């Protein structure tokens, strides 16, 4: 029986390989802004280190000077509801509340924990979720785990969303609109003002916005698209991650106090997990304290992103991006793999993104620019494409 089951697994893996979507864990060695893969050394264009903070040695050295044997704790040894709620949690959450001008904030172990935990906690049989078609996998998993009825509105199609709201607003106790602010695969940006206006038409509609790919990058202080578009107070569940541009680990929500208290009591991925180590929280707080000072990095990244997009469009590619995430749309899975390998030979580590991460027929190379990359290198990338 066991052998038959293993044969089924093998057959499924062969099927993935034939379709060009079999995945492997890459054995990469990080060397600053470069990556060594096999014998090849390449510029890393697949990282989410958008501000370049993860490779900033001087920033790291400054942080290390603040550590002592007493505060250098590598584990919390417990969940937050037992003994894992160290003072640094409170300090970081208070800092987030002040920066965002909100009633409260709550920190989680990861963006995945966050998105798979919040929606199941706040939904019941009287809840309807209306989610953008292209929301991230963690949000999709959270939606499925919630047990709520849901519809996926056409990507960035606010007329479609408006029709769904009008059709269902009187049939449910609450409706939650779920979206990202910057979409991780297309790099396009949500019109949050439009979503706020739609939400405000109904008394039972809440808005959930994931800023994972925007925090640190957008807004005068780097607080994300909600800051940039001036609508932080209008978003009921404003979430983000420390694990990308902020070069740390964990997720957070900016919300009203009653929502925070509710999540502490109902959110299983918060209640039943060992809390983050204090050392990670200290680093997150350290980075957040300096976030406002990275405006030049944000400006440089924005200028280079616009420039690369223009060069890619000149070469005949469709590029929907409005951000630092630049997709090179290929279409066919195997052609996307070959294109990535071609870029590796030219010294640029870019990865092919294929279904089920993206819809069938939309395989692409995802280029992640960081603030450390010069205009000269951006030109080299464009020339190599």
Give percent above pLDDT 70 in the chain: 99
Window from 19-28, 125-134, 188-197, 368-377 with minimum mean pLDDT: 19-28
Asked if the model's pLDDT at residue 205 lies above 80, the reply is yes
Q: Is the pLDDT of residue 2 over 70?
A: no
Q: What is the pLDDT of residues 138-187, one digit of tens each?
A: 999 999 999 999 999 999 999 999 999 999 999 999 999 999 999 999 99
pLDDT of residue 237 exceeding 60 = yes
Predicted confidence band at 1 (pLDDT cuts at 50, 70, 90)? Answer: low
Give the model's pLDDT for residue 27.
86
How far apart, in whole angstroms, are the C-alpha atoms of residue 326 and residue 319?
7
Are 244 and 217 within 8 A, CB to CB?
no
The answer to whether residues 168 and 176 touch, using CB atoms and an 8 Å cutoff, is no
Q: Is the pLDDT of residue 270 over 60?
A: yes
Structure tokens at 322: 């409005």
Arch. (CATH architecture) of 80-289: 3-Layer(aba) Sandwich (3.40)
Average pLDDT value for the chain:
95
Which pLDDT does position 352 carry in this prediction? 92
- Please state, in angstroms and rounded to a whole number, the distance separating the CA atoms of residues 264 and 106: 9
Of the pLDDT bands very low, low, confident and very high (cuts 50, 70, 90), residue 31 is confident
pLDDT score of 19: 85
pLDDT at residue 3 above 80? no
> What is the per-residue pLDDT across 57-101, written as a single tens digit (0 to 9) for each?
999 999 999 999 989 999 999 999 999 999 999 999 999 999 999
Which residues have C-beta within 8 Å of that of residue 8, sequence separation ≥ 6? Answer: none
Mean pLDDT to the nearest integer, 194-223: 97
pLDDT of 196 over the 70 cut: yes
Q: What pLDDT, in 10s, does the model give residues 35-58?
A: 898 888 999 999 999 999 999 999
pLDDT at 23: 87
pLDDT tens readout for residues 9-25: 999 999 998 888 888 88
The pTM of this model reads 0.93
CATH number of 19-48+295-384: 3.90.1150.10
- pLDDT tens per residue across span 109-118: 999 999 999 9
The residues spanned by each domain of the chain are 19-48+295-384, 80-289
pLDDT attached to residue 241: 97
pLDDT tier at 318 (50, 70, 90 boundaries)?
confident
pLDDT in tens, 274-294: 999 999 999 999 999 999 999
Q: Is the pLDDT of residue 202 over 80?
A: yes
Residue 200, number of CB atoms within 10 A of its CB: 11
Q: What percent of the chain has pLDDT over 90?
A: 88
Sheet containing 40-44: order of strands: 28-31, 34-37, 40-44, 348-349
pLDDT score for 118: 98
| Average pLDDT rounded to a whole number, residues 355-374 | 92
Calculate the CA dihedral of residues 369, 372, 375, 378 and round it to 10 degrees.
Answer: -30
């Amino acid at each position: 029986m066991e052998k038959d089951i293993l044969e089924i697994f093998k057959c499924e893996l062969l099927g993935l390989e034939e379709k060009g979507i079999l995945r492997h864990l890459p054995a990469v060695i990080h060397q600053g802004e470069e990556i060594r893969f096999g014998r090849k050394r390449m510029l890393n264009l697949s990282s989410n280190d958008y501000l370049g903070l993860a490779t900033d040695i001087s920033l790291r050295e400054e942080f290390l000077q603040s550590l002592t044997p007493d505060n250098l704790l590598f584990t919390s040894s417990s969940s937050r509801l037992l003994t894992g709620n160290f003072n640094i949690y409170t300090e970081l959450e208070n800092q987030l509340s002040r920066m965002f001008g909100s009633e409260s904030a709550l920190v989680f172990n990861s963006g995945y924990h966050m998105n798979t935990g919040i929606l199941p906690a706040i939904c019941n049989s009287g809840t309807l979720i209306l989610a953008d078609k292209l929301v991230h996998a963690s949000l999709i998993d959270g939606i499925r785990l919630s047990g709520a009825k849901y519809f996926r509105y056409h990507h960035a199609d606010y007329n479609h969303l408006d029709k769904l709201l009008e059709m269902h607003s009187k049939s449910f106790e609450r409706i939650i609109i779920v979206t990202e602010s910057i979409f991780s695969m297309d790099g396009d940006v949500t019109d949050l003002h439009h979503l706020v206006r739609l939400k405000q038409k109904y008394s039972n509609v809440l808005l959930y916005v994931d800023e994972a790919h925007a925090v640190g990058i957008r807004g005068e202080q780097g607080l994300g698209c909600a800051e940039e578009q001036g609508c932080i107070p209008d978003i009921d569940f404003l979430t983000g991650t420390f694990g990308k541009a902020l070069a740390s680990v964990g997720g957070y929500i900016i919300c009203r106090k009653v929502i925070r208290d509710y999540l502490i009591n109902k959110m299983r991925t918060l209640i039943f997990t060992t809390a983050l180590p204090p050392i990670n929280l200290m680093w997150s707080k350290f980075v957040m304290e300096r976030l406002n000072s990275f405006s030049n990095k944000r400006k440089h990244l924005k200028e280079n992103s616009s420039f690369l997009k223009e060069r890619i469009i000149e070469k005949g590619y469709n590029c929907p991006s409005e951000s630092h995430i630049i997709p090179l749309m290929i279409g066919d899975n195997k052609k996307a793999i070959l294109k990535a390998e071609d870029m590796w030979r030219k010294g640029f580590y870019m990865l092919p993104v294929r279904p089920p991460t993206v819809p069938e027929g939309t395989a692409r190379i995802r280029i992640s620019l960081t603030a450390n990359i010069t205009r000269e290198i951006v030109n080299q990338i464009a020339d190599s494409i």
